[in-house]
Structure 1
Amino acid sequence: MTDSSDVAHMGGCLCGSVRYRVTGPLADIQLCHCSQCRKAQGSAFAANVPTDEDRLSFLSGEEVLVRFESSPGKTRAFCGRCGSPLFSQTTARPGVVRLRAGTLDDPSGARLGFHIFADSHADWWEIDDDLPRYAERAPNA
């Protein structure tokens, strides 16, 4: 029998310079509609998978990561070669990284969980599913 803590999920950037592994089960994907996430992703929302930082290890490319403080206490990391957004961190949640779900290799096993900052969604994108919606942050997220 396989222990769920032995499960490994692999991912990386578009050019392949950055490769990572996340151990253990994946949390539900949080769809963030805030204006910063829209700009950082170039899309209607960011699809984030929060995970404990100690469950994330880099197999290659950690030296090419570039970090940008997009607002006080919030840092976004991306590949310095191809520009792929990989994760963000905030001082409000020390020890947690929010991986960009699109950087996980398929199949990832991750599932959609809920929408956050739904009141800020792009006016050209309609949220039309039955997932829970939060005007701003989700409780305990």
Structure 2
Amino acid sequence: MNVAGSKFHGSCLCGAIHYEVDEIQHEMAHCHCSMCRKFHGAAYATFGEARSEHFRWLAGEKLLKSYIAQNGTVRQFCSQCGSSLTFHAPGGTDGFVEFTLGTLDDEIEHRPDAHIYIGSKAGWCEIHDDLPQFWESRDSQQVK
């Protein structure tokens, strides 16, 4: 959580899109699914979550583009620089916005608390922390 009255700010790589978050939820995860790996061009993507009423676009919202995957997930990104910004599960937002922690401009106290979708993680990626690991989502089999 944040200090009372403070807000967190984030932006894309080119600085055209800015957002603000009033309160970040405690659950944050490193997602190792193949779609996150491909979309981010990295071993995994790290997401935070905020209630929809605590997340707002401040600038550049018209530059957001969406990619809808075959499984119905929606990933929003900057049309100018390609920065990945948000993720929505199939069927809507469920009152929450998942956003990429790497786009935050401010430091946060909380740290990711799990690795998810390790069943499809890159073989060359080794996990060296003690966070719980889930084969798929947090509701699936915990591997470690």
If the length of structure 1 is used for normalisation, what is the TM-score?
0.89
The residue number in structure 2 matching 1:29 is: 28
Contact 2:24 2:48 in 1 (8 A): no
* Cα RMSD, aligned residues only: 1.9
User: How many equivalent residue pairs?
Assistant: 138
The residue number in structure 2 matching 1:62 is: 61
The residue number in structure 2 matching 1:76 is: 75
Contact 2:78 2:85 in 1 (8 A): yes
Tell me how far 1:34 sits from its aligned partner.
0.5
Secondary structure of 1:112 counterpart: coil
Contact 1:27 1:51 in 2 (8 A): no
Contact 1:26 1:109 in 2 (8 A): no
Contact 2:17 2:78 in 1 (8 A): yes
Letter in 1 for 2:17: V
Moved over 2 A (4+): 3-7, 25-29
- 2:41 is equivalent to residue 42 of structure 1: yes
Distance 2:16 2:110 in 1: 23
Distance 1:64 1:25 in 2: 24
Tell me how far 1:139 sits from its aligned partner.
2.8
If the length of structure 2 is used for normalisation, what is the TM-score?
0.87
Tell me how far 1:93 sits from its aligned partner.
4.8
Tell me how far 1:129 sits from its aligned partner.
0.9
The residue number in structure 2 matching 1:127 is: 127
Give a deviation string over 1:51-108, Cα, whole Å, max 9, x none: 1122111110001000110233310000011100001112265222210010001313
Distance 2:4 2:69 in 1: 33
Task: State the identity as a percent.
Answer: 36
User: Which has a greater percent of strand?
Assistant: 1
The residue number in structure 1 matching 2:86 is: 87
Give a deviation string over 1:4-34, Cα, whole Å, max 9, x none: 5633110010000000000024434200000
Contact 1:48 1:101 in 2 (8 A): yes
Distance 1:24 1:106 in 2: 13
Task: Structure 2: give runs of 5+ residues left out of the alignment.
Answer: none
Alignment of 1:93-132 (within 5 A): 93-132=93-132
Task: Structure 1: give runs of 5+ residues left out of the alignment.
Answer: none
Deviation larger for 13-22 or 99-108: 99-108
Distance 1:72 1:126 in 2: 27
